[in-house]
Amino acid sequence: MNNNNNLAAPPSGVSTDLLQVHHVTRYRYARPVHFGEHRAMFRPHDSNDLQLAGIYINTRPSASLHWVNDVFSNSTARFNFTESSDTLEIDCTFNVVRSTVAQPEFPIADFAKSYPFLYPNDQFTDLIPLIRPEYDHPEEEVKSWAQQFIEPSGGDTWALLKTINKALHETIEYRRRDEPGVQAPRKTIQLGHGSCRDYAVLMLEAVRQLGFAARFVTGYLYDPASDGNNSGLQGAGATHAWVQIYLPGAGWIEFDPTNGSIASGNLIRTGVARTPSQAVPLEGSFKGAPEDFLGLDVHVEVKALAPTLKG
């Protein structure tokens, strides 16, 4: 694993963190079974605010590893196993440099500052799949829930999105769920609680019902509390989920409704997709009887490797 501790001083107003993510997934079986291909989204999205500084992956039993870019340009790891075993363990550690602007400004195009607006034709063609609501059945309850925030926002696009993000954080109770899948958005409204995936899918569907282009994001959350600092973040200690919304002029902006944050420097994205099913952190198969599967253990730790550099 390569480490890079020689970080240049950040520009004014920008803080830089060197973070380490350690993710271990362990499947247990009653007897040795044969494993099919497994696919994982462990590698961070390199961008202007996120840079990979080193990665190490180990599996038990051993496997061949191939990196593939999917339809969304996510880097996906493909594992192929030849040995049978009663345990499958995939252990990934990576270091990442995360830069954050203290007071981000989003240069939203003038025509898009007022809601509603129309995406330009050259953008709309590419964004159509990300604007279309995902659920086949009418989500009138979700649409009505989202529409209640239009009038209070006074026709201001940014105010509308901030209000929806804040409302989700304040009205939905966070409950961690380890089982796969997500709740239907209307069910999250009805229950009044959900996991980070459920928050993300509800916001995804809500803003799409209002005509915004949005996509699901999977990754990790750095909680400063893990390093002894005060923090009220929810969703750490496991993979995390949030959304990106596309605004002309400003591009893709990250909203984390679980914590009510926007463009947070605590988010480490590893995959973006149209739907949650396209951004599963780890999935695969095995040959054997259903009762052979005994259980799954997941350990995720995100920590700072160096003090924050502030410009």
Average pLDDT on 96-115 reads 92
> What residue spans define the domains of the chain?
14-100+280-310, 104-278
Average pLDDT on 158-167 reads 98
What pLDDT was estimated at residue 137? 63
Please answer whether residues 241 and 200 qualify as being in contact, where contact means their C-beta atoms are separated by less than 8 angstroms: yes
Going by their DSSP bridges, the two strands 213-221 and 267-273 should be labelled as antiparallel
What pLDDT was estimated at residue 136? 61
Residue 228 — very low, low, confident or very high, per pLDDT cuts 50/70/90?
A: low
**CATH domain 104-278 topology:** C8orf32 fold (3.10.620)
Does residue 310 register a pLDDT over 90? Answer: no
Of 304, 199, 215, nearest to 260 by C-alpha is: 199
Please answer whether residues 203 and 167 qualify as being in contact, where contact means their C-beta atoms are separated by less than 8 angstroms: no
What pLDDT was estimated at residue 102? 76
What pLDDT was estimated at residue 77? 97
Residue type, 170: E
The domain defined by 14-100+280-310 carries CATH number 2.60.40.2250? yes
Mean pLDDT of the residues in the chain: 91
User: What is the tens place of the pLDDT at every residue in 254-296?
Assistant: 999 999 999 998 999 999 999 999 999 999 999 999 999 999 9
DSSP-based three-state secondary structure for 154: coil
pTM of the model: 0.91
User: What is the tens place of the pLDDT at every residue in 172-221?
Assistant: 999 988 777 889 999 999 999 999 999 999 999 999 999 999 999 999 99
